[in-house]
Amino acid sequence: MKNSIIDVRPLSPTVGAELHGVDLAKPLEERAVLEIRDALHKYGVVFFRDQTIDKAQHLAFTERFGPIKGKSFLGTVEGYPMIGEVRKEPDQSRNIGGDWHTDHAFIANPPLGSVLVARELPAVGGDTMFTNMGNAYDRLSDGLKKTLSTLRAVQAKRQSFKPDAPADRRVDGAEKDKIDQQFAQYEFTHPVVIAHPESGRTILYVNPTYTVRFEGWTQQESAPLLQYLYQHAVRPEFVCRFNWREGSIAFWDNRSVMHYALNDYHGERRLMHRITVEGSPLAAATV
């Protein structure tokens, strides 16, 4: 963009860009906010490097993009109930977000996005991967696009504990029954092909963590097509991988990307602060 405040450096042609030229500790002028929003819509996730922001500045920056989402499944930072902790301790085997997902796909208004700030990092590992579901949709055949445009999918929190989930989050038997009951209210049906609420871009909206089945189809009937869509969406050339450093911040658009937090740093602490922006209902795209 001519006379831009922000220097946009894409990490790949379809997903992820580093944004340079702004200090997020200071109040941003409106033009900078617009440029960040534009980059977010284009690349699905934007990254900032070498930033030093405290908790209040993290909140102030995130609030420029919409109202903050209050309730979280995460533990929160003392004195800052709006800041969720994405924490893994050296003695823990399970991490948060360790499979492809979009956050809170199982509620009526999934979040607009999240701003994740690195607070403590392992010496090596703990990267996060992102894929752009607008690009994944664009790269399907016209025939499959047409079929998918007629479908809706059931999304449920309990699905993240399914028997074929990654080993560190798999549960069955009595434990599974307890989880099914505990999370029964967190279930919602969304269109499989949505129009992005702000940019209008057409997006494939299914993910392996929360999508249970297509509405009106059994789980068994749904599984082959869902599996095809998942492996298509995470083809290596569709994905970017972000290597966190001290001072790194990621801001993802939760309607247009899936993300995956790698769990490859056992025995070390990783602590991130996450603030989430409220979302809106998801409407089917007109294809």
CB of 2 to ligand SIN, least distance (A): 34
- Cα-to-chain-centroid distance, residue 36: 17
The answer to whether the CB of 84 falls within 8 A of the CB of 75 is yes
Nearest approach, Cβ of residue 278 and ligand SIN (Å): 16
Query: To the nearest whole angstrom, how small is the minimum distance from the Cβ of residue 172 to ligand SIN?
Result: 24
Closest CA to 205 of 154, 147, 240: 154
Q: Active-site positions? A: 101, 103, 259, 274
DSSP letter assigned to residue 82: E
Q: Provide, rounded to whole angstroms, the least separation between the CB of residue 52 and ligand SIN.
A: 20
Write the DSSP assignment of 173-237 as a string of letters: HHHHHHHHHHTTT-EEEEESEEE-TTT--EEE---TTTEEEETTS-HHHHHHHHHHHHHHHT-GG
Of 249 and 272, the one with the shorter C-beta distance to ligand SIN is 272
- Nearer to ligand SIN by Cβ, of 11 and 151: the residue is 11
Q: In terms of CB distance, is 249 or 285 closer to ligand SIN?
A: 249
Q: Indicate the residue among 42 and 259 with the shorter CB distance to ligand SIN.
A: 259
Q: What single letter denotes the amino acid at residue 259?
A: H
Q: Which residues pair with 240 in a beta bridge?
A: 130
H or E stretch covering 26 = none
Q: Which residue's C-beta sits nearest to ligand SIN?
A: 97
Residues lying near ligand SIN in the complex (CB under 6 A) are found at 86, 96-97, 116, 128, 259, 261, 272, 274
